[in-house]
């Protein structure tokens, strides 16, 4: 084999390259017939024989354009202005999804097929999108669990992106190499209620063997009919999961799913692991400091669909959207799915993902729980009524339902969960609060009686109560007024404001007795906890050891135990006070959030 010279892209250097033809005039042929081997990020090297060197530059520009169109950063940058579904993923209901699918099909008529592939247990349609004409089929399904929504809009965005740019070499390569079979909402009944399980109460992802659910039977039918070379199982995971012991939230977790308990590395599973590596490489530069990419639990799950699809011959990539570091919301999770899936599909179409190494997947740290808390309050002393104070840290998570975080209409509910009471020195923290020298006590639970209280139980009144140490309110009403009281409480909900819970008064109008009875909005602040109690009610105790005090505190005598709500008061001793009622109110924490000082 002879050798010929090659001008390297973007350099003036020539290098010897193998050439099939041989001859005695190799040097003169090199000078007359040099070619450029163009290699740009994300593209395979291409030999260009332009005839004249000055014609190389336009070819390089074309190849660079093709590479950029599917580069992760370019996809990330273009998504906000070009995404097809603008509704936040947690707010997307089955009816709106159907409308968007119809619009997408109308926009790309004859190039996109949308069909009703089956029906849910309650009769809602389950749609299948088919995109591309390639010989290799890829199956992607999302929202198998109704409360795991992040990837659903990404599938429509992905289809629109490819078809809108079908003349770009990168998009055309995918469309000609593979046929995409996409089910954006496999469990519409669960999605309608924002619940994990389907309307039968069955976890569809644990129905691969029984096939008792129509949703599970449909997924099995699609797999058997099309026999895809790769599957993408798109989920959301617990938003507090971390990347190993790093303390960084696992924003994306990946798994090349095993097809047996031994974890046999078949050629198909190796492809899935390379796909994970491609997704990780594409997304890692896009994540902020507080987020990361992890590897999901690899234990064999014999009832699960991903494990069984791999066993049946379709290797599965599990993608779990998870933690939201500062600055990230649900839109960014959808955005990451969009970029990551396109990166994997581009690699599959290009060279069966040969450009990605399984070792990069194996290097990912495992999903981990229990090493991080959203907030850790360190160095304080806890003081329960009638007990001696003791040193203890408090660690807790702040719970925000997806639909509340996304601003979905009618969404409500906020919460918190104590994770640790005691020594939390080894826990990583999203936020650390220095409570050295402070005394921490349970917050006050107020009690309000009768529907007439709505005349003064306003947002302003609740904020004033919070500044006096109230962390929750029980609103006792009769059965005819219960629904109206519930409506009012939903309207009053806000971060750092005491939650109001409507409860039924006892038979005969007798009050339940829990909480500190409050009959009007407080007018003034107070310098100490004792003064705050007096400002709230004539029913206020005069000593921290007074009988019945625990019944006026949130959580009673069980305020500081794991799984309890993180609602408490931070007090600062002043003038030598040892009784908490004589101490100054420093901070009021309500469901893991500090109440505004003013």
| Full 3-state SS string of 282-309 | HHHHHCCCCEEEEECCCCCCCCCHHHHH
CA distance 69 to 76: 11
pLDDT, averaged across the chain: 88
pLDDT of residue 120 exceeding 80:
yes
User: pTM for this one?
Assistant: 0.85
Domain with CATH 3.40.630.10 in the chain: 70-368
Determine the topology of domain 70-368 in CATH.
Aminopeptidase (3.40.630)
The number of helix segments (H) and strand segments (E) in the chain equals: 16, 28
- Asked if 314 and 259 count as a contact pair (C-beta separation under 8 A), the reply is no
> DSSP code of 352?
T
CA distance 501 to 471: 12
Predicted confidence (pLDDT) per residue in 85-119, tens digit: 999 999 999 999 999 999 999 999 999 999 999 99
CA-based nearest residue to 347, from 170, 162, 568: 170
Residue 557 confidence (pLDDT): 67
SS3 30: helix
Establish how many alpha carbons lie within 13 A of residue 144's alpha carbon, considering only the half-sphere containing its beta carbon: 27
pLDDT of residue 15 exceeding 60:
no
Q: Which three-class secondary structure string do you get for 171-188? A: HHHHHHHEEEEEECCCCH
> CA-based angle 540:541:543, to the nearest 5?
150
> Quick one: tokens of 365?
């740290």
Selected residue with higher pLDDT from 543 and 45: 543
CA distance 432 to 114: 50
Comparing 15-29, 158-172, 361-375, 518-532, the range with the smallest average pLDDT is 15-29
Predicted confidence (pLDDT) per residue in 205-233, tens digit: 999 999 999 999 999 999 999 999 999 99
CA-based nearest residue to 555, from 469, 472, 494: 472
SS3 5: strand
CA-based nearest residue to 485, from 528, 448, 537: 448
For the beta carbon of residue 176, count every other beta carbon within 10 angstroms.
Answer: 14
Predicted confidence (pLDDT) per residue in 250-295, tens digit: 999 999 999 999 999 999 999 999 999 999 999 999 999 899 999 9
Q: Within 330-444, where are the H helices?
A: 330-351, 358-362, 402-405
The angle that helices 330-351 and 169-177 make with each other, rounded to 10 degrees, is 70
Residue 69 confidence (pLDDT): 60
pLDDT of residue 65 exceeding 60:
no
Q: What share of the chain is helix, strand, coil (3-state, %, to 5)?
A: 35, 25, 40
When pLDDT is averaged across residues 230-255 and rounded to a whole number, the result is: 97
Residue 39 confidence (pLDDT): 43
Q: Within 410-503, where are the H helices?
A: 459-467, 482-492
pLDDT of residue 389 exceeding 70:
yes
Comparing 54-68, 247-261, 360-374, the range with the smallest average pLDDT is 54-68
Tokens 């395979």 belong to 44
- Asked if 111 and 95 count as a contact pair (C-beta separation under 8 A), the reply is no
Residue 456 CA from chain centroid, whole number: 39
CA distance 28 to 46: 23
Residue 427, phi then psi, degrees to nearest 5: -80, 135
When pLDDT is averaged across residues 186-204 and rounded to a whole number, the result is: 98
Selected residue with higher pLDDT from 550 and 379: 379
- Asked if 468 and 532 count as a contact pair (C-beta separation under 8 A), the reply is yes
Residue 132 CA from chain centroid, whole number: 29
Residue 541 confidence (pLDDT): 76
CA distance 588 to 595: 6
- Asked if 298 and 256 count as a contact pair (C-beta separation under 8 A), the reply is no
């Amino acid at each position: 084999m002879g050798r010929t010279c090659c001008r390297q892209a973007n350099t003036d250097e020539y290098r010897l390259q193998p050439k099939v033809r041989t001859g005695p005039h190799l040097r003169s042929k090199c000078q007359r017939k040099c070619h450029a081997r163009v290699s740009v990020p994300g593209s395979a090297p291409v030999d260009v024989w332009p005839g004249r060197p000055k014609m190389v530059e336009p070819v390089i520009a074309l190849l660079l354009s093709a590479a950029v169109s599917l580069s992760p950063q370019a996809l990330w940058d273009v998504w906000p202005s070009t995404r097809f579904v603008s509704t936040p993923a947690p707010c997307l209901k089955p009816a709106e999804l159907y409308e968007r699918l119809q619009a997408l099909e109308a926009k790309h008529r004859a190039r996109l097929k949308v069909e009703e592939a089956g029906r849910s247990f309650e009769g809602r349609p389950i749609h299948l999108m088919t995109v591309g004409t390639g010989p290799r089929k890829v199956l992607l399904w999302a929202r198998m669990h109704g409360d795991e929504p992040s990837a659903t809009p990404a599938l429509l965005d992905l289809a629109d992106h490819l078809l809108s740019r079908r003349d770009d070499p990168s998009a055309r390569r995918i469309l000609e190499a593979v046929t995409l079979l996409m089910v954006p909402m496999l469990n519409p009944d669960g999605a309608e209620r924002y619940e994990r399980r389907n309307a039968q109460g069955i976890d569809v992802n644990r129905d691969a063997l029984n096939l008792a659910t129509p949703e599970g039977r449909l997924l099995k039918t699609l797999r058997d009919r099309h026999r895809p070379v790769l599957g993408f199982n798109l989920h959301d995971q617990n938003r507090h999961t971390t990347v190993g012991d790093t303390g960084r939230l696992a924003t994306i977790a990946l798994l090349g799913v095993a097809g047996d308990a031994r974890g046999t590395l078949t050629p198909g599973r190796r492809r899935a692991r390379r796909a994970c590596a491609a997704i990780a490489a594409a997304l890692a530069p896009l994540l902020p400091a507080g987020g990361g990419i992890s590897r999901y639990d690899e234990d064999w799950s014999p009832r699960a669909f991903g494990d069984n699809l791999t066993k049946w011959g379709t290797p599965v990539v599990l993608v779990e959207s998870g933690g939201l570091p500062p600055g990230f919301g649900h839109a960014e999770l959808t955005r990451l799915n969009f970029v990551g899936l396109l990166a994997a599909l581009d690699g599959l179409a290009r060279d069966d993902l040969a450009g990605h190494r399984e070792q990069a997947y194996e290097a990912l740290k495992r999903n981990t729980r229990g090493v991080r808390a959203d907030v850790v309050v360190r160095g304080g002393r806890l003081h329960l009524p009638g007990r001696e104070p003791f040193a203890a840290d408090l660690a807790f998570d702040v719970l925000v339902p997806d639909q509340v975080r996304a601003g979905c209409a009618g969404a409500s509910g906020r919460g918190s969960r104590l994770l640790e009471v005691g020594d939390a020195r080894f826990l990583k923290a999203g936020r650390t609060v220095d409570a050295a020298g402070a005394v921490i006590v349970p917050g006050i639970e107020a009690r309000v009686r009768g529907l007439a209280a709505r005349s003064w139980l306003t947002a302003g009144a609740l904020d004033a109560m919070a500044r006096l140490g109230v962390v929750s309110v029980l609103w006792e009403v009769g059965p005819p007024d219960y629904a109206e009281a519930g409506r009012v409480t939903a309207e009053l909900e806000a971060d750092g404001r005491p939650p109001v819970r409507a409860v039924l008064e006892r038979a005969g109008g007798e009050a339940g007795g829990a909480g500190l009875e409050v009959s009007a909005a407080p007018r003034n602040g107070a310098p100490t906890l004792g003064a705050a109690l007096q400002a709230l009610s004539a029913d206020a105790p005069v000593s921290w050891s007074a009988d019945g005090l625990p019944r006026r505190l949130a959580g009673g005598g069980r305020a500081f135990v794991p799984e309890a709500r993180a609602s408490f008061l931070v007090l600062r001793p002043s003038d030598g006070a040892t009784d908490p009622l004589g101490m100054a109110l420093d901070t009021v924490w309500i469901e893991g959030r500090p109440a505004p000082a003013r």
